[in-house]
Chains A and B, each alone.
Chain A
Amino acid sequence: MERIDDYAVLAPLLSQQLRRGVYTNHFMAPQDYPAALAEGLAVEVFDGGLWISRDRGDHVLLTFYLQQGAALPMPHCAKRAVTEVVWREGREAEAREALTQLEELGWQRLFERCRRLRPAAPSEGVGWESTAPPEAVLDFLGEHFDPLTGCLPSLERLRQQCRAGEVVTLGEGEQLWGVLHFQPGRTGSEIRHLAVAASHRGRGVATALLEEYLRRTGGAKSLVWARAGNAPAEAFYESRGYRRDGWRSAVLTVDGKDETNL
């Protein structure tokens, strides 16, 4: 992997991959690259594709381009790696091929996720301010989501999102009962994390968090990726107007290989 610090170096590498039949799980808009480059981005070009690696502390998040008919090589990563192969149901041939190749290389499929959509709909409520410290929110998310696959935000990013009202919390002081963390988009938003402390489940905390989130986003279109087979989560979202929209993914991981001693 070669570290890239300059978008002007990265852009041509990405543009070269835009060819008919390519499969990719790399979906960044141009304006997203400055932050990604600052956090640590590396690439590995191979015959028929490109690996892109983003540093996440103790692991890396990998995405890739794979040209039709090409073979995906194992990336050179010292750290454990995670990737998510995404497809639209009915057009999954290229994604299935990539999945097969990854598993043949030794990647382990951890779980699959389905995306659900709640169309824009009016949302009412009195609302409340979330005053929990970002440090407490991050601790809470760390307790409820796998650090490897949970896409946890950095503390700095979480500070920004708390200031922007993109973190809904319920609790007393630093003692949190539940957290909903979302990411606004152009015309809607995506729920990134929703969790309720075991001690407060069955008391309507998740519903209250969701209603406040919908109020804050003005009832705009809402997306959420939920783990396939997680019946309580699926039932929760379905009962609140979320429906599967045809997008599905598989999350895979592989151990890193420290090659510095080879």
Chain B
Amino acid sequence: MRETVIAILSEICPGVDFDKETALIDDGLVDSLDIVTIVTELMSTFDVEITVDDLQPENFNSVDAIVALIEAARNS
């Protein structure tokens, strides 16, 4: 799952070392304006429901946080 998430992020925001970064939103590597695009790609790829309540910047600061969001959505 991690590699797929990185591939999605790299397509939307090229040139970022997603494997290591842990402050993607806070450091501006991923813009908050990108979050809807990222979310809709994640929902489609992993077949999960993510709601507007999940559109919190802290859920998108790292690949690990995004993976946790997807896993929470799968278990909800």
Smallest CB separation, A64 vs chain B (Å): 12
B76 within 8 A of A: no
A237 within 8 A of B: no
The digit string for A104-129, where 1 denotes a CB below 8 A from any CB of B, is 00000000000001000000000000
A233 within 8 A of B: no
User: Using a Cβ–Cβ cut-off of 8 Å, how many residues does chain B contribute to the interface with A?
Assistant: 26
A177 within 8 A of B: no
A221 within 8 A of B: yes
Q: Cβ of B31 and Cβ of A30 under 8 Å apart?
A: no
Smallest CB separation, B17 vs chain A (Å): 17
User: Using a Cβ–Cβ cut-off of 8 Å, how many residues does chain A contribute to the interface with B?
Assistant: 24
A163 within 8 A of B: no
Residue of B nearest to A20 (CB): B44
Chain B residues near A21: list those with CB within 8 A: 40
A76 within 8 A of B: no
Binding site for B on A (CB under 8 A): 11-12, 14-15, 18-22, 24, 26-27, 29-30, 86, 88, 91, 117, 186-188, 221, 245, 247
- Extra 4 A-B pairs, beta carbons < 8 Å, given A15-B49, A186-B57: A22-B36, A30-B56, A86-B33, A117-B28
Q: Across the A-B interface, give the 9 residue pairs with the lowest CB-CB distance, nearest first.
A: A20-B44, A14-B52, A15-B51, A187-B26, A20-B40, A15-B52, A11-B52, A24-B36, A27-B33
